[in-house]
């Protein structure tokens, strides 16, 4: 990498998988992926669904990109959250590299003309430059094997002024027993291939800035770095 201010060791983990290996690790049945995901959210991220609604729900422009959408379970919850609050309608394009997860999302939103899905790599998105008004990536930035390329390509497809929301898994914080439980889950996730690596806040923050984003807001909650970015 050309920017030596970023710690390359953060993505050089012995348990790191290729994008193909990660996609293979996500070949579980969609229902099991969802159950497993909520368990990880609670005990590894030390977060909650309410926190995720508040992080991602407001960040929808009229033409929105949902990166690493998985089975679409969380996306469906967020769209319902927005509807209850009478927020403006949005057209959503969801992408994921794991085809089995994407198939679950397609079934979930069958018959809806405002939500569509494509099989795509976050580091090589099949969209025009300056195309989307907003983007989200929920519970997944730390699962990408080439996070720098993904951040840069998400920035590319956003319109100037477009916003991007993410929550990034950090190395476990706090005390026993929660820190120990989170570490065990992280270790299992890296062996399984569903987690590439947790991050240190300063490292992922530097990567975000290097990708071309401006920071709008940031906070650490539990083991998550919640951040809103903007394309200049």
pLDDT of res. 11: 34
CATH number at residue 18: 3.40.50.150
Query: Taking the complete model, does pTM exceed 0.75, yes or no?
Result: yes
What confidence tens digit (pLDDT) does each residue in 37-93 have?
666 766 788 888 899 999 999 999 999 999 999 999 999 999 999 999 999 999 999
Is the pLDDT higher at 123 or at 13? 123
Distance between CA atoms of residues 143 and 71, nearest Å: 15
Asked if pLDDT for residue 8 goes beyond 60, the answer is: no
Residue 135 resides in a domain: yes
- Look over the chain and give the mean of its residue pLDDT values, rounded to a whole number: 86
Look at residue 81 and tell me if it is in a domain: yes
Instruction: Give 3-state DSSP helix, strand, coil % of the chain, rounded to 5.
Output: 40, 25, 35
Q: 3-class SS at 136?
A: strand
Contact criterion met (CB below 8 Å) for 30 and 58: no
Lowest mean pLDDT among 10-19, 55-64, 118-127, 135-144: 10-19
Tokens of 198: 């947790």
Contact at 8 Å (CB) between 119 and 97?
yes
Number of domains making up the chain? 1
Within a domain: 2:
no
Cα–Cα dist 59/134, whole Å: 7
Domain that holds residue 73: 8-230
pLDDT of residue 2: 31
Q: What is the pLDDT of residues 158-189, one digit of tens each?
A: 999 999 999 999 999 888 888 898 898 888 88
- Categorize the per-residue pLDDT at 14 as very low, low, confident or very high, splitting at 50, 70 and 90: very low
Separation between Cα atoms, residue 76 and residue 128, nearest integer Å: 26
Asked if residue 151 is part of any domain, the answer here is yes
Quick one: tokens of 34? 């969802």
Has residue 19 got a pLDDT over 70? Answer: no
Q: Please return the burial class of 95, using the count of CB atoms within 10 Å of its CB with bins 0-12, 13-18 and 19+.
A: buried
Q: What is the pLDDT confidence band of residue 192, given thresholds at 50, 70 and 90?
A: confident
Q: With CA atoms as reference, report the closest residue to 41 among 191, 181, 207.
A: 181
Q: Please report whether residue 167 resides in a domain.
A: yes
Residue 91 lies in a domain: yes
């Amino acid at each position: 990498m050309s920017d030596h201010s970023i710690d390359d060791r953060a993505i050089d983990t012995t348990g790191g998988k290729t994008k193909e290996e990660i996609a293979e690790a996500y070949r579980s049945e969609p229902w099991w992926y969802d159950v497993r995901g909520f368990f990880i959210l609670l005990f590894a991220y030390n977060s909650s669904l309410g926190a995720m609604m508040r992080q991602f729900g407001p960040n929808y422009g009229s033409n929105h990109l949902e990166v690493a959408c998985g089975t679409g379970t969380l996306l469906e919850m967020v769209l319902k959250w927005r509807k209850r609050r009478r927020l403006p309608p949005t057209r959503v394009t969801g992408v994921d590299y794991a085809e089995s997860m994407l198939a679950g999302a397609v079934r979930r939103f069958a018959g809806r003309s405002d939500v569509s899905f494509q099989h795509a790599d976050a580091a090589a998105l099949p969209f025009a430059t300056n195309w989307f008004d907003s983007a989200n990536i929920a519970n997944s930035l730390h699962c990408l094997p080439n996070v720098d390329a993904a951040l840069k390509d998400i920035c590319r497809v956003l319109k100037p002024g477009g916003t991007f929301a993410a929550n990034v898994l950090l190395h476990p914080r706090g005390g026993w027993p929660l820190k120990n439980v989170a570490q065990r889950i992280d270790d299992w996730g890296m062996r399984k291939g569903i987690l590439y690596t947790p991050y240190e806040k300063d490292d992922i923050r530097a990567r975000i800035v290097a990708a071309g984003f401006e920071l709008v807001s940031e906070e650490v909650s539990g083991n998550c770095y919640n951040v809103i970015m903007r394309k200049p």
